[in-house]
Structure 1
Amino acid sequence: MAKDASTDDAWKAEPVEGPVDGEMAWGSDMAAQMLRRLDIPYVALTPGASYRGLHDSLVNHLGNERPEIVLCLHEEHAVAVAHGYAKATGRALAVVLHSNVGLLHGSMAMFNAWADRVPMLVLGATGPTDAAERRPWIDWLHTTQDQGALVRSFTKWDDQPGSAAAAATALMRAWKITNTAPRAPVYVNLDASWQEAPAPEGLTLPDPARHAVPAVVRPDPARLTEAARALDAARRPVILFGRGARTAGVMATRVALAERLGAPMLSDLKAGAMVPSDHPNHVGQPFNKLSPEARTVLAEADAILSLGAVDLGGVLKQGFGAEGFAGTVIHASEEAHLHRGLGQEHYDLAPIDIEFLADPDATAEDLVEALGDGARPAPALPASSTTEPPASGTLTQRDIARALKAEIGDAPVTFPALSRGWPTDLWPHREPLDFLGKDGGGGIGSGPGLTVGAALALKGSGRLVVATLGDGDTLMGINAFWTAAKYRLPLLAIIANNRSYFNDELHQESVARRRGRVEANAWVGQKLDDPAPDIAGLARAQGLGGVGPVRTQAELQAAMAEGVAAVRKGRPFLIDVWIDARQGREQAVARNTKSGV
């Protein structure tokens, strides 16, 4: 009987048998050795014949250690696992995708990672580019002249090296590029021919110590002085916090800057926990779209400092409309290096008076130093518009949050994903790992894989990994959880199940309302009911513990106790909670009306 992973850190899901061949004898051995040299702990994959050489090298040459294979049931999940891992640790993982078909499967998740600006080394493979070496039929189907072109518009760099020697350089370059800010996935395509050919004699591998990632770019000193003076002179500066590092030290610097300026802080759900959401300077709850409180604060601002804001132009348009903001706009971001023509994830063009093409965290640190000692009082902020919904006899997300809190208490929790409408007022973000942010590209189905990746990253950390997911997101990615069961990754997935693609019901209501048509038909083609999918049953089929559907307070408390106990024992668990879709609709409509949406 296998040992429980929770009691034995040396436990491995798939230990190799027999002797390991330590000689770097084959082309693919070289690629595997480069992954080890780069100190990559895991490689997430779904197997494929185009990289059978590399797969053999990972197992029989490296012994499935450094990196260890993390097997996934779908290429999209393999990429999402690496995405979640990078969000939790700031470190890139390797992913391997089979040929053109595997790349196409994984491309949705690669777009999410691109839009979220996380590092990732994606290895591809192709049938022999030398047509004389191709097997009939399948090698022709799985060979693409320029495979990187399939994802080139949402990767930072790609290459298709023609030999083992060229691949060593390509992997070293790719690793440096993906980890240099602004970070994003890279793609290296490994030809099956040289993977399976003998390694060339005398081949030496690049030394990572001589290819270190450059230091972050710091702001220009003269422009920094100009920005510090403008902020210090401002009567009501406001700070928008976007993407940044997830460390306690950097979070403390962000807070120190706000306290020095007496500035209201706005944080974005898309970026995750960048500052404490219950700090006296924090405005309302972290937003996806601007809240009424955020609009009020922005209306009073005479200077706005954006530190890596995800969509600065969109925020200004929501806050000020066509008239625009008359005060000083200061923005720090390296995003412009990744702006392309195909996608529009560069967002609306924002008016900026002082711009730093520099690291936002380094800019915050330098601003604190430039401003010097002292602190202004916390600003007077508008009262929160969050209210308790009227009792309906059915469960809400606030019920889920309270039940979870009752079981977990003060234990540290990481939320790798939060379903729409999660009450952050009941569960504030206080530490950098409390919430990892959204999925980047809005690719539904990513939540389970991101959760598995975060659980892989945080296993043994003492933090409980809890994801609240929508039913649509879960159903699209449910078999990602099989990987958590196989590798004994403790996580709790709580499904806020309204039995509908409910966000689209709201869109259909809006369209019908504008056209004077019947809003009551919004559910047609949207409802996930009659029959409702058995999400708990699907979770159990992946090897998780699963309870549901949960419909009452008593059932919720019992399910939460069982789920938290399982996670504390090192096992993954899912709870399917049927929430009140009608109440969710009323809250969303009220929220959108107040926000002018």
Structure 2
Amino acid sequence: MKKIERPAVTPSNAAEWGSDVAAQMLRVLDIPYIALNPGASYRGFHDSLVNNLGNEAPQMLLCLNEDHVVSIAHGYAKVTGKAMACVLHSNVGLLHGSMGIFNAWCDRVPMIIVGATGPVAPEKRRPWIDWIHTSKDQGALIRDFTKWDDEPRSPHGIVEAFLRGSQLTNSQPTAPVYICLDAGLQEQKLDAPMNVPSPARYQPAAAPRASQHDIEAVAELLATARNPLILFGRGGRSQEAWDARVRLAELTGASVMTSIRERSVFPTEHKLHVIPPFYWLSPKAKDIVRQADVIVSFDWVDLNGFLLQLTRDTDSYPAKIAHVTLDAGLHRGWSMDYFSLPPLDVPVVAGADGFVEDVLAALEKKLGGKRLWKGDDRNSAPEPAYTQDAQTELGPRDIEVALARVRGSQTFTLAHVTIGWAGDVYSFRDPLDFMGHDGGAGLAAGPGLTIGVALALKDQGRPVVAVLGDGDFMQGVSALWTAAHYGIPALFIVSNNRSNFNDELHQEAVAKMRGRPPENRWIGQRISEPVIDLAAMAKAQGVESEGPVKTAAELEAAIERGLAAVRAGRPYFIDAYVTPGYSNPPLSRGE
């Protein structure tokens, strides 16, 4: 990454102004980067980042849109599990960035969002502009999808707000926090030197562990089950947590399922990983679930939605069900991201990774060195093969096949995929192989998420690749400027079907329900006449680009060129034309 935009002269690091305290708190909290789109409401804070800290630790990342400010911090947290900072200008920036905040909330990632308002004191406001950019209780705009917010009224309040915010956002279950800085307080000169304390005594607590009763209950279920099924949902990025999940599956002989919405948590080539990571249960997957007499969920998102795909009467589902999660600590009334209520025989309030360790230890003691898995192979993933016409016209799944073939035994990080990703030929081999979906299913996040992932992995020696939808890319394209400007390497591939295709399927579903012509589904959906030159859009942001690529051979060659650029430290873009369709069609209401 380029170390650019350093000031020629940086004065003493002593805090002299209210905003200096806020900036120094980020340094004390070991925040390496802060993404921003400039705004006058935090001009004092901006000055402190530059002229008090020298734009280093944290370094500013200039973005062209508030959406990217948040999504870059989101992507960074996906990899590291730690909060990055971002800044949103006044009420208008907060309103614009709120979609990204909702994504991060639904994805349960830590993040310190710094906002600004005011000046709160009316005599300090400029006519007109400072009045429309001043809000009472600005945090109320996003309070239903943040973990905590504050609007400190003194320099000492700023210190406490950042210490508390960092502690809360990094405590499980993690979620963003918001700290709003009064413009007047930012520009207030300190009356006396400020003591900025060490954060050592303000660290987040370890995730809660389960009671011994719950550990023994789940261990007994797994030890005595005939056909146990483990659902691995949310989980940490450490290799130790990954290895513990594998040991638990192999010890119990349980079949394993994972979600394509979540980050990689289990090797999808493993013999016990019975179906590819999925959005919706396939007929084969439903048969496997019906055969299970015990289901243990490790923070599986929407567990009852999983069961509803088999029966509307989930309360009478015959399998014994245990669910390990801390997520209820974030549930509230405004958003339905808590999903429908699952029937549980053993509810466990604990961190999923810690519970894997605890139940594994209990099972090893209970089984006395015996392993219940006999070594049978239940994995049915096919060999990577292109669709029949891929040498003349690409299908959506062919991008996955091309990436799998080019990757071979190399190590990549797949930062993002489209909603129609098949997931059956591109395997996940370690905790950093895949970074999941955007959380809230809103468009424009994919490019910024990819840049955040690449920022976190810039020194890891593993290329970062993203497969984006054309709609997602077009709404988020200006994020690529930030990647080009700071030299953040990532390969962006757009699966371009020239349509808002998810909504085509919804229009088809409605037409069929109403007995109307489904062939009209494309009207108001297709992105054509003129066809948009996506490669030119990327090139306009300073990113090397090519396309449209239309065949498998062209795509593999383009991916190789893109990877060479990424390994050389540059972002690269490929526009891949695919036929309209999905490898795994989403469910539509009424189906």
TM-score, normalised on structure 1? 0.94
Alpha-carbon offset, residue 223 of structure 1? 1.9
Residue 73 of structure 1 corresponds to 64
Residue 8 of structure 1 corresponds to none
Alpha-carbon offset, residue 37 of structure 1? 0.3
1:375 aligns with 2:371: yes
Question: 1:385, 1:299 → 2: CA distance?
Answer: 23
Question: 1:388, 1:303 → 2: CA distance?
Answer: 37
| Bigger Cα displacement from structure 2, 182-191 vs 393-402 | 393-402
Query: Pick from 239, 244, 247: which aligns with 1:253?
Result: 244
Question: 1:230, 1:80 → 2: CA distance?
Answer: 40
Residue 104 of structure 1 corresponds to 95
Secondary structure of 1:400 counterpart: helix
Alignment-mate amino acid for residue 351 of structure 2: D
Question: 2:85, 2:49 → 1: CA distance?
Answer: 12
Alignment-mate amino acid for residue 505 of structure 1: E
1:499 aligns with 2:498: yes
1:161 aligns with 2:152: yes
Secondary structure of 2:360 counterpart: helix
The alignment covers a number of residue pairs equal to 583
Residue 202 of structure 2 corresponds to 211
Query: Pick from 41, 52, 58: which aligns with 2:32?
Result: 41
Query: Pick from 217, 231, 235: which aligns with 1:244?
Result: 235
8 Å Cα contact 2:382/2:424 also seen in 1: no
Residue 391 of structure 1 corresponds to 389
Residue 344 of structure 1 corresponds to 336
8 Å Cα contact 1:297/1:381 also seen in 2: no
- Deviations, residues 394-422 of structure 1 (Å, cap 9, x unaligned): 11244333433454442211011012333
TM-score, normalised on structure 2? 0.95
8 Å Cα contact 1:407/1:564 also seen in 2: no
1:521 aligns with 2:520: yes
Alignment-mate amino acid for residue 319 of structure 2: G
8 Å Cα contact 1:96/1:124 also seen in 2: yes
1:114 aligns with 2:105: yes
8 Å Cα contact 1:263/1:378 also seen in 2: no
Secondary structure of 2:313 counterpart: helix
Question: 1:546, 1:422 → 2: CA distance?
Answer: 23
After superposition, where does 1:231-310 map in structure 2 within 5 Å? 231-310=222-301
After superposition, where does 1:44-193 map in structure 2 within 5 Å? 44-193=35-184
Question: 2:145, 2:590 → 1: CA distance?
Answer: 32
8 Å Cα contact 2:404/2:425 also seen in 1: no
Question: 1:383, 1:196 → 2: CA distance?
Answer: 62
8 Å Cα contact 1:512/1:518 also seen in 2: yes
Question: 2:417, 2:403 → 1: CA distance?
Answer: 14
Residue 575 of structure 2 corresponds to 576
| Bigger Cα displacement from structure 2, 189-198 vs 225-234 | 225-234
Question: 2:554, 2:511 → 1: CA distance?
Answer: 37
Secondary structure of 1:319 counterpart: coil
Gaps of 5+ in 1: 6-10
Residue 222 of structure 1 corresponds to 213
- Taking only the aligned residue pairs, the percentage that are identical comes to 48
Residue 473 of structure 2 corresponds to 474
Alpha-carbon offset, residue 206 of structure 1? 3.1
Alignment-mate amino acid for residue 449 of structure 1: G
Question: 1:86, 1:471 → 2: CA distance?
Answer: 25
8 Å Cα contact 1:293/1:385 also seen in 2: no
Question: 2:293, 2:404 → 1: CA distance?
Answer: 39
8 Å Cα contact 1:397/1:579 also seen in 2: yes
Alignment-mate amino acid for residue 268 of structure 2: S
Secondary structure of 2:101 counterpart: helix
Question: 1:588, 1:171 → 2: CA distance?
Answer: 43
Residue 12 of structure 1 corresponds to 3
Change (3 A) 1:270 1:200: farther
Alignment-mate amino acid for residue 556 of structure 1: L
Question: 1:596, 1:493 → 2: CA distance?
Answer: 35
Residue 358 of structure 1 corresponds to 350
- Deviations, residues 365-410 of structure 1 (Å, cap 9, x unaligned): 1010000133222466485699964436311244333433454442
Alignment-mate amino acid for residue 464 of structure 2: V
8 Å Cα contact 1:283/1:293 also seen in 2: no
8 Å Cα contact 2:509/2:590 also seen in 1: no
Question: 2:80, 2:201 → 1: CA distance?
Answer: 23
Question: 1:21, 1:273 → 2: CA distance?
Answer: 45
- Deviations, residues 423-450 of structure 1 (Å, cap 9, x unaligned): 4332101111100111111011110000
Change (3 A) 1:592 1:152: closer
Residue 443 of structure 2 corresponds to 444
Alpha-carbon offset, residue 272 of structure 1? 1.8
8 Å Cα contact 1:411/1:464 also seen in 2: no
Question: 1:177, 1:51 → 2: CA distance?
Answer: 23
Question: 1:88, 1:20 → 2: CA distance?
Answer: 34
Residue 508 of structure 2 corresponds to 509
8 Å Cα contact 1:169/1:206 also seen in 2: no
Alpha-carbon offset, residue 507 of structure 1? 1.1
Question: 1:293, 1:384 → 2: CA distance?
Answer: 12
- Deviations, residues 146-179 of structure 1 (Å, cap 9, x unaligned): 1000000000000001111111111110000000
Alpha-carbon offset, residue 22 of structure 1? 2.0
